[in-house]
Structure 1
Amino acid sequence: MRSEWEVNQAVDKYANLITRICFLYLKNEADTQNVFQSVFLKYLKYNKSFESDEHEKAWFIRVSINTCKDVLKNFFHSHTVSLDKVESAFMTEPPQHPEVLEAVLSLPQNYRTVIYLYYYEGYKETEIADILRKKVNTIYTWMYQAKQILKKQLGGE
């Protein structure tokens, strides 16, 4: 079990990342907060050490995504609809281009995830493939298809 200091350091380091990923999947603040707590509880109980900071960050991303998917599979969640305001919970400051954010959030989940990891977190396609446990060509395809959809929705390049 990890020390309180280690967990506090991880919360300081990864809180924003995990919150954004969870909100990207769940689209409501309450579920995002629940998953956030679950992720750090799993970290607290995780006894293995990480090879590097990047490995630790990838672990947090993977656990966050998997936990969000578990929430989405839940019967209650799949049979209810929440209409929380996406913009207010996603960012503390108003987005510079709300139409872009709205378009990204309207993408299918797999496209949303690769766009987020690539443009917002700065991962390369090969790294995204490792994190999502998909083939690199799948990531390239999803990126291309997501860009085509965004291009149509936003009317331009």
Structure 2
Amino acid sequence: MTEQTLCNAMEAHGDTVYRLALCRMQNTADAEDVYQDVFLRLFEQETADWDGEHTKAWLIRAVLNRCADLHRFRLRRPVLVLEDIPDMARPADDGGAELWDAVARLPEKLRTAVHLHYAEGYSTEEIAALLGVPAATVRTRLHRARRQLKDLLGGIDDE
């Protein structure tokens, strides 16, 4: 891969890579590490015949794999996350902060489905292909996530 191709990929898909890494890792330092690792791996790939969508799909899969690697590492070597220290908690920055804080408390599988669907705009079928699960599983995860978010945010019970 050429440097110009890498720059183009970073410009086109860098935000998606970072947001997904942040969604999965739940802190900026780890998300930045994942971002860097993923683009370094992309630089080492032979991508001459890849189109934009293939590159984006490869990047998303690479982010998911790298985040899983880091989670496995953390299981063996736990670390203290700065956001867990009360006097250093991050302030709410906008009106959606409460919602995204609630999303951050969801289990990882639900959080990932919500992020890819609502933040990145993927359909359930596209998410299913990226995660390697049936589309029905993605729809179930989204339904469960919405139900848990309603409970977390004190929503009105429609039923």
Query: What is the rounded CA distance, in whole Å, between the counterparts of 1:52 and 1:3 in structure 2?
Result: 15
TM-score by length of 2: 0.86
- Give 1:83 deviation, angstroms: 2.8
Query: What is the rounded CA distance, in whole Å, between the counterparts of 1:76 and 1:108 in structure 2?
Result: 16
Query: What is the rounded CA distance, in whole Å, between the counterparts of 2:112 and 2:89 in structure 1?
Result: 16
Q: Please, which runs of 5 or more residues in structure 2 have no aligned partner?
A: none
Query: What is the rounded CA distance, in whole Å, between the counterparts of 2:120 and 2:139 in structure 1?
Result: 17
For residues 2-151 of structure 1, the aligned pairs below 5 Å read: 2-49=1-48, 51-75=50-74, 78-84=77-83, 94-151=93-150
Cα 1:8–1:86 change in 2 (3 A) is farther
Cα 1:59–1:87 change in 2 (3 A) is farther
| Number of residues of Structure 1 aligned to a counterpart in Structure 2 | 152
The corresponding residue for 2:155 is 156
Identical-pair percentage: 30
Query: What is the rounded CA distance, in whole Å, between the counterparts of 2:137 and 2:145 in structure 1?
Result: 12
Tell me, yes or no, if the aligned pair for 1:35 and 1:64 is still in contact at 8 Å. yes
Query: What is the rounded CA distance, in whole Å, between the counterparts of 1:87 and 1:59 in structure 2?
Result: 32
Cα 1:26–1:78 change in 2 (3 A) is farther
Does 126-135 or 47-56 show the bigger shift?
47-56
TM-score by length of 1: 0.87
Alpha-carbon RMSD: 2.1
Tell me, yes or no, if the aligned pair for 1:27 and 1:86 is still in contact at 8 Å. no
- For 2:122, give the aligned amino acid: Y
- SS of 1:74's equivalent? helix
Cα 1:78–1:106 change in 2 (3 A) is farther
Cα 1:52–1:23 change in 2 (3 A) is same
Q: Please, which runs of 5 or more residues in structure 1 have no aligned partner?
A: none
Query: What is the rounded CA distance, in whole Å, between the counterparts of 2:15 and 2:45 in structure 1?
Result: 20
Greater than 4 Å deviation, 4+ residue runs: 75-78, 85-88
